Amino acid sequence: MKKNNRIIYWCQACGHQSPKWMGRCPDCGQWDSMVEQTAPSGPASAARKALADRPEPVLIDAVAMDGEERIRTGVDEFDRVLGGGIIAGSLVLIGGDPGIGKSTLVLQVLQHLAREKRRVLYVSGEESTRQLKMRSRRLAPQAPGMYVVSEIDVDAVIDMVHDQKPDALVIDSIQTMFSKDAASAPGSVTQVREATMKLMVMAKQTGIPAFLIGHVTKEGAIAGPRIMEHMVDTVLYFEGDQNHVFRILRAVKNRFGSTNEIGVFEMKESGLEQVPNPSAVFLSERAKNAPGSVVTACMEGTRPILVELQALISGSGYGTPRRTVLGLDYNRVSLLVAVMEKKLGLNVAGQDIFMNVAGGVRVSEPAVDLGIISAVASSFLDRPVADGTLLLGEVGLTGEVRGISHLPARIAEVEKMGFTRCIVPKNSLKQVKGAGGIELVGIRRLSEIMDILF
């Protein structure tokens, strides 16, 4: 008699498997995420067979490094996030909210590579070739050397790669890819994992860099099993608010570069345009001598960016005051407000507090603590911070102002943007050898800031 296939249940959120159905996944805690699938009873898939044929170990000093130079795409902000360019044979996963511009970004990168006489292949499982042509013509008039195809069979895509031998490959999106070796529907955990594994093996064997575009769930994570992020070399998130024109490309994993770098783009009718000087853009519409408005400098990788912190304090009409924070850590702001009440004597406990980072940017480092406190105090006292003043410093629970890193780089950006005075931690002044035309004011305690600003 023919042996029946074994039935197992996979969690669509994390990939956990169980012999029986459960309402809640015991691994990730998601409800109603277990789906029934047939476990493969035959030989391993083609990808696992390829991995099984392991070569003999060699000495690491004997490994040849010829031809390992990075491929420059011509989009400097994209190259910056990757660590200087594309590595041959790398597998890059790009995620982001629907409509944020993932496909537009990758299509523009391929167009730049095609204009440099490189052969590129764009595989779409969501659009037809006519739709790709319409979008490509809107971004650039011509793209010689760029091939497009509408296909969801991952095995057929790999055969095309071996025939065409492109210099770069894009899969849009990985959730639409289908493998015959997995008995499940496209988009399931098994299919996504199987397709990613096959593309990873292809990229390593051929040396062709591949970009995978992934959809993002409502929780903000890339849809599919978490193991997919472990298999790829680089994971990039394309962030931004659809109500703002600015988009930020951020690396959360990069085996060939730093994960602290970001790329800033501006969405226009002709596509995404690079923003080489984000500080000037974020401060272009700042109102001068406005209470509650303070400028500070945050570090994104090796790049200092000047941002405007806005605070609004108003009387509360309810028993419990409201705390609304956009672009900053809510818990950090609450902590700093408590320090203000204790160390500065400002009674803001019964007031509604609203904070925002202008431009839709998100700031998380503690070096902007002094700017947050100054913005709240400025709005509470209804007194503006003097124009041309910038504040930097981390604030502790006892009211001390702690030192920060990369102060020379921040000061150089501050001077370039035309600011005349910078209030910094006194312990960090030893990092700066020369301040140029900027007045540096060092403070040790939070109480000193009130006398300096107000």
Question: Residues annotated in the binding site for ATP, as ranges?
Answer: 96-103
Distances (CA, A) of 16 to 39, 232, 420: 13, 20, 57
- Regarding beta strands 401-402 and 394-395, do their DSSP bridges make them parallel or antiparallel, or are they unpaired? antiparallel
CA distance 310 to 381: 14
CA distance 261 to 298: 12
Centre a 10 Å sphere on the Cβ of residue 85 and count the other Cβ atoms it contains. 17
Positions at the binding site: 96-103
CA distance 10 to 89: 30
Tokens representing 143 are: 């793209």
Coil/strand/helix, residue 74: coil
Distances (CA, A) of 84 to 33, 101, 248, 257, 409: 39, 22, 17, 8, 20
Q: Cβ(187)–Cβ(176) under 8 Å?
A: yes
DSSP secondary structure of 291-340: TTEEEEEEEETTEEEEEEEEEEEEE-SSSS--EEEESS-HHHHHHHHHHH
Question: 336 CB contacts (<8 Å, ≥6 apart)?
Answer: 369, 372, 373, 376, 395
Secondary structure letter of residue 55 according to DSSP: P
